[in-house]
Amino acid sequence: MTVSNPSVIAQVYAFIIGACFGSFLNVCIVRWPRERSIIRPPSRCPQCGNQLAWFENVPILSWVALRGRCRCCDEPISVMYPLVELVVACGWLLAVHHYGFTFTAIRIAIFGTTLLGVAMTDAKHYLIPDGFTLFGLVFALVTSVVAFFRGETLVFASPYNALVGACAGAGMIAIVGWIGEVATKREAMGLGDVTLMAFVGAALGPTRALITVFLGATLGAIAFAVVVIPITLLRRGQVREQTELALGSTPFEAPLVPFGVFLAPAALLTLFWGDALLAWLTRA
């Protein structure tokens, strides 16, 4: 269901709403891993604690206007803040550009925004806050019912498939994690990956949840082979002596991989191209 040519105003509006959601996402990314409230206190400079005035809190623009520095203490403000706002704003713009200002477009935009939060906190802190996955699960289930009654049933799973998908997604990743644990003799996957796949399964349904796990594992394996192993091998020489002192021996221990970093983009890719990928993989 592609609505042709939503007006320019609608697209600008989508960009602005997206930037605001990106700003809120920044708050979640910073505060949830530290188990702090996302409502209070209002945003402050992490360096000097100066409470931000409204004009210092405008998504993207404030960072540019302040040239990336705090107005109070002149310490640099991370470029990640405006980047997240920009990425989410562009995501919302693309969703509305493609699907018009529809319920489906808003579902896609919020799905993608939540997944970005998951990927960023997992990359940064090796954890996936329940705030993202629990919100995502409830959002996916509720909107599947609303979409069913509105007749907008494309892209996301039907209410029945959402329920089955949540269980299938969580179950599949738990099995993968268990096998990984047996194979590597250590914890391979956190509970955050299980709740993430419950959320993703509720959005995509059981078949595409399976594709997401497959695609996420593939992306993770590629990143592991290309980036993580060479770095680890390079560092190994330096670390070996210390580890030998501490443990007496040095079994090669693979570094922990934040699987959510790969599952999140895999889920978004699968939302759009999962069916095409399945058709390609199972072609006669």
Q: Which stretch binds Zn ion (CB under 5 A): 1-9, 28-36, 42-50, 143-151?
A: 42-50
Nearer to Zn ion, 48 or 231 (CB): 48
Using CB under 5 A, which of 16, 17, 45, 167 touches Zn ion? 45
Q: Burial letters for 61-99: b for 16+ Cβ neighbours within 10 Å, e otherwise?
A: ebbeeeeeebbeeeeebeeebbebbbbbbbbbbbbbbbb
| Single-letter code of the amino acid located at 233 | L
Task: Say how far apart CA 244 and CA 68 lie, in whole Å.
Answer: 44
Q: Which stretch binds Zn ion (CB under 5 A): 38-46, 77-85, 121-129, 158-166?
A: 38-46
Nearer to Zn ion, 55 or 178 (CB): 55
* 48 near Zn ion, rule: CB under 5 A: yes
* 53 near Zn ion, rule: CB under 5 A: no
Q: Residues 189, 177: contact at Cβ < 8 Å?
A: yes
Nearer to Zn ion, 70 or 271 (CB): 70
**Residues 223-242 close enough to bind Zn ion by CB under 5 A:** none
Question: Encoding tokens for residue 208?
Answer: 């595409």
Q: Which stretch binds Zn ion (CB under 5 A): 39-47, 133-141, 143-151, 193-201?
A: 39-47
Using CB under 5 A, which of 2, 7, 47, 218 touches Zn ion? 47
Nearer to Zn ion, 2 or 47 (CB): 47
* 84 near Zn ion, rule: CB under 5 A: no
**Residues 54-83 close enough to bind Zn ion by CB under 5 A:** 70, 72-73
Q: How many helices and strands in the chain, by DSSP H and E?
A: 10, 0
Which of 130, 140, 122 minimizes the C-alpha distance to 216? Answer: 122
Task: Say how far apart CA 24 and CA 54 lie, in whole Å.
Answer: 14
Nearer to Zn ion, 45 or 278 (CB): 45
Tally of CB atoms within 10 A around 123: 12
Task: Say how far apart CA 43 and CA 63 lie, in whole Å.
Answer: 14
Task: Say how far apart CA 161 and CA 152 lie, in whole Å.
Answer: 15
How near is the Cβ of 53 to Zn ion at its closest, in Å?
Answer: 12
Q: Which stretch binds Zn ion (CB under 5 A): 47-55, 61-69, 196-204, 241-249?
A: 47-55
Q: Which residues bind Zn ion (CB under 5 A)?
A: 45, 47-48, 50, 70, 72-73
